[in-house]
Amino acid sequence: MGTAPEPKEPQEPTEPKEPIPLVLAGARGHGRRHLDNIRRLTAEGKVRLAGVCELAPLTREELGDGLGEPEQSADLAALVTRTGARIAVICTPIHTHADLALAAAERGAHLLLEKPPTPSYAEFTRLSEGLRGYGTACQIGFQSLGSHALPAIRKLVADGRIGAIRGIGAAGAWARDEDYYTRVRWAGHRTLDGRDVVDGVLTNPLAHATATALHLAGADRAEDVAGIELELYRANAIEADDTSCVRIRTTRGTTVAAAVTLCAEEPGEPYVSVHGDRGRITFWYKLDRVRIERDGAPPETTGHARTDLLDNLVAHLRDGTELLVPPDRTGAFMRVVEAVRTAPAPVPLPADAWRTEPGAGVTARAAERRVVTGIDRLVTAGAERLALYSEMRAPWAAPPTEVPHP
């Protein structure tokens, strides 16, 4: 291992107003969303797709219109060097994030890095220190943290609209077919080929639930976490968790809890609720929708805009606009990732706790999915009561794991 580079002094952004050259690493699967977003920003004259990093080149059909003829390569470092890219969007398997991000940063590219940033806190530290040394701007891809609903909610709380805060709960009840876990080699793994992956429901598919709740608690940095309790379960035949809950004690004394599953009976929109002693604020973070319910007043629902994180990164490079999700603002979430990584393996649910139903069919064959009986009610109650599954007497729940915290 080489020594870390000396930290560079912060510099004023000097990017020209012409489109910023960009490379995308990981353009299939979830990466298609990034490709479409890059297409939008290209049409607005903000970026230019200079390269695509994939193990197999994209076909003309996969690339689509409006992006020109970017160079394609399986070697991200070489691609950044040859194209002179000033931004690298990295949407690759979790366990490749740190190495690819640092390789791109070493060659002068700033980053939009998908969540979770890394599968362990040690890797997160290595990444953060490396980026500081290279003077690299990095945005972590928690898109919900670009919602304009967040400052609106903070103002409602600051104005005392729901009284004193008693805690923040998050709920996510999604459904994933069994073939979701066979779509790529690393899906549903805690480790792969001796490397941490930590692809569980808390850390990847419904990671936004916990990250958004921590943000609203004003406790998104690593030093804001005072303690973590976990319960990890799985109904599917996987290594990682698909039905889990976490409760976090912050140094401010706020309790943050999240109950999530990929085995919902009736899948719905995930949300975060801020509980006060005189009301509640609910934020459906994928919809940018907020509802405030107060004692003695009718509910009020509002919709909000959202700042795209790649757009924000471009603005940061051009005129110094503050980044919305720099790595240090995901430190508390990474404490949760580390807690999941080091916890005992998820508990397999007994066969009578779940059933099989027809799935959505994301592949050509008929798909099935596993459904945990009563889980929707438990997820909702967990977010409301800030409680763990065992405390709600789920018949399959074991006592929580208290994670040692430095």
163 lies in the same domain as 129: no
| Domain-located, residue 295 | yes
Using CA atoms, how far residue 404 sits from 272, 342, 401, in Å, is 26, 10, 9
Centre a 10 Å sphere on the Cβ of residue 64 and count the other Cβ atoms it contains. Answer: 13
Q: Is the pLDDT of residue 10 over 80?
A: no
Euclidean distance between CA atoms 384 and 406, whole angstroms: 29
* Strand positions, DSSP E, 349-391: 354-358, 368-372
185 confidence band (pLDDT: 50, 70, 90): very high
Residues of the chain with pLDDT > 70: what percent? 94
Per DSSP, the three-state class of 207 is helix
CATH code of the domain covering residue 355? 3.30.360.10
| Domain-located, residue 316 | no
Give, as one character, the DSSP assignment of residue 206.
Answer: T
Distance of CA 319 to the CA centre of its chain: 26
| Domain-located, residue 31 | yes
119 lies in the same domain as 266: no
Distance of CA 109 to the CA centre of its chain: 22
Q: Per the structure block, which two tokens stand in for 360? A: 């959505």
User: What are the pLDDT digits (tens) for 31-43?
Assistant: 999 999 999 999 9
107 lies in the same domain as 166: no
Q: Is the pLDDT of residue 4 over 80?
A: no
Sheet holding 20-25, edge to edge: 71-73, 47-53, 20-25, 87-90, 110-113, 138-140
User: What are the pLDDT digits (tens) for 112-141?
Assistant: 999 999 999 999 999 999 999 999 999 999
9 confidence band (pLDDT: 50, 70, 90): low
Q: Per the structure block, which two tokens stand in for 8? A: 């560079």
Centre a 10 Å sphere on the Cβ of residue 154 and count the other Cβ atoms it contains. Answer: 15
82 lies in the same domain as 159: no
Q: Is the pLDDT of residue 164 over 90?
A: yes
CATH code of the domain covering residue 90? 3.40.50.720
| Domain-located, residue 351 | yes
So what's the pLDDT on residue 76?
Answer: 98
Considering 116, 136, 156, which residue would you say is the last residue of a domain? 136
| Calculated CA dihedral for residues 25, 197, 241, 171, nearest 10 degrees | -50
Domain that holds residue 120: 20-136
Euclidean distance between CA atoms 353 and 396, whole angstroms: 7
Considering 80, 111, 136, which residue would you say is the last residue of a domain? 136
Euclidean distance between CA atoms 197 and 116, whole angstroms: 10
So what's the pLDDT on residue 68?
Answer: 94
| Domain-located, residue 257 | yes
So what's the pLDDT on residue 58?
Answer: 97
Using CA atoms, how far residue 2 sits from 55, 126, 331, in Å, is 27, 12, 24
Q: Is the pLDDT of residue 248 over 60?
A: yes
Q: Is the pLDDT of residue 210 over 50?
A: yes
Residues of the chain with pLDDT > 90: what percent? 91
Q: Per the structure block, which two tokens stand in for 279? A: 């009301």
What does the pLDDT average to over 63-76? 97
Give, as one character, the DSSP assignment of residue 147.
Answer: B
Considering 102, 136, 170, which residue would you say is the last residue of a domain? 136
Q: Per the structure block, which two tokens stand in for 14? A: 């000097």
So what's the pLDDT on residue 399?
Answer: 78
What does the pLDDT average to over 77-82? 98
So what's the pLDDT on residue 366?
Answer: 62
123 lies in the same domain as 159: no
364 confidence band (pLDDT: 50, 70, 90): very low
Helix, strand, coil % in the chain, rounded to nearest 5:
30, 25, 45
| Domain-located, residue 366 | yes
Helices (H), 258-390: 309-319, 331-342, 375-385
- Residue for token pair 């994030």: 97
User: What are the pLDDT digits (tens) for 96-107?
Assistant: 999 999 999 999
Q: Is the pLDDT of residue 358 over 70?
A: yes
Q: Return the H-helix or E-strand segment holding 150.
A: helix 149-158
208 lies in the same domain as 159: yes
Using CA atoms, how far residue 365 sits from 177, 238, 242, in Å, is 11, 20, 22
So what's the pLDDT on residue 16?
Answer: 56
Are 245 and 258 a contacting pair, CB within 8 Å?
yes
- Residue for token pair 């009020």: 300
pTM over 0.75: yes
Average pLDDT of the chain is: 94
Are 93 and 184 a contacting pair, CB within 8 Å?
yes
Per DSSP, the three-state class of 33 is helix
215 lies in the same domain as 359: yes
13 confidence band (pLDDT: 50, 70, 90): low
